[in-house]
Homo-oligomer: A and B are copies of this chain.
Amino acid sequence: MNIRDKVAVIGVGCSKFGENYDMSAEDMIVAAASEAYADARIEPSQIQAAWVGTLSSAMAGNALADPLKLFNIPITRVENYCASGMDAFRNACMAVAAGMYDVVLALGFEKLRDSGQRGLGTFGTHPVIGYGTTAPSLFAMAANRYFATYGIDKRALAKVAVKNHHNGTMSPKAHFQMEVTEEQVLSAPLICSPLGLFDCCPTTDGAAAVIVCRADIAKSFRPDPLLVKGIGLAVTSGEPYLKPGFAYTGFPATAQAAQSAYEQAGMTVKDIDLVECHDCFTITEILNYEDLGLCKKGEGWRYVEEGRASIGGEIPVNPSGGLKSFGHPIGATGIRMIYEVAQHLWNKAGARQVKNAEVGLAHNLGGPGSIGCVTILASS
């Protein structure tokens, strides 16, 4: 049960994230893939297989084949709710580890702000809608339970928003480059109590790409490939919020996926230099700290308040700005996290650079908290 050191990341790319009314899904796919090809020093013809993560309906491998003219090779479309991107990356890594392919592409995308296009805009129903709820209302329940359990209030959430918006100002490709103050966050319009506007990630268009290859040939492409140390995926019941036994103060799928990734990597949280995690809502980031083992249960709110999640802190979390500020084009997010971790491990993250970063963890969450995916990458 181990993928450690069999597979390497040799290039990453990312389109501008935002309300890209001037870009089609195809435009963003081409932007992300082209940057990844250049970063990996490869030609498109060297791609032997591909995986695409998206929540859009019935896209199939043609979602990549046509815009990228990647014809006559295998392309699989993976969908796993909001964790579609990282699970596409995971399946790509396993295929390379199996010896089936030497160099492959994993790409995630979503076009959410403009759904008039054929095919690419037919966004399926988000799973939580089927329960008569919305994403904010479900995560609001988690926030209220967390508050009641640990005796805190929404000021804790605001710290996450302030931190991630600050980080976003240093992320040129992020949806927002805009500081927010704690007062602004706390006085923003309520979306679903206690979550206000700045507690929720935006609706964003974007695409991100990663080039994966056999670890033993990676240095023929670049001197500093990144090694995949472990990837865990776990699926729990899709109806946790409706079940009496669900605690609401964490997502077991995240904890399970993290445990699997740490075990594969032979690492603990002490080895991690930075984390990109799934802050679809501010409360989610606090729960993620605890589920990923950055701090104890019930102490996540302290972790951000004490600055331990800030750049320069104990383990910087979401130096990119996170979903909160970088945006959350569903299928793109998990790959965008790999992109961000790579920027830091390659010391290319500019003003938001986490110093001396050698090991990074990325965490993608899907559905009503039922899908957790965790990847650990390290410098070689």
Contact = CB atoms under 8 A, between A and B. Distances in A.
Contact of A73 (B2, B49, B73, B235): B235
A72 B252 contact: yes
A59 to B, nearest CB: 7
A61 B371 contact: yes
Contacts of A48: 1
A62 B124 contact: no
A190 interface: no
A266 interface: no
A169 interface: no
Interface string A5-25: 010000000000000000000
A57 interface: yes
A280 interface: no
Counting every copy of the chain, the complex holds 2
Contacts of A119: 125, 127, 130
29 contacts: A1-B99, A2-B99, A3-B99, A6-B98, A55-B58, A60-B79, A60-B80, A60-B81, A60-B84, A60-B127, A60-B367, A62-B237, A62-B370, A65-B235, A65-B237, A65-B238, A66-B239, A71-B235, A71-B236, A71-B237, A73-B235, A74-B90, A76-B80, A76-B90, A76-B233, A91-B95, A94-B95, A97-B99, A119-B125
Interface of A: 1-3, 6, 48-49, 55, 57-62, 64-66, 70-81, 83-84, 87, 90-91, 94-102, 118-119, 122, 124-127, 130, 232-239, 252-253, 256, 366-367, 370-371
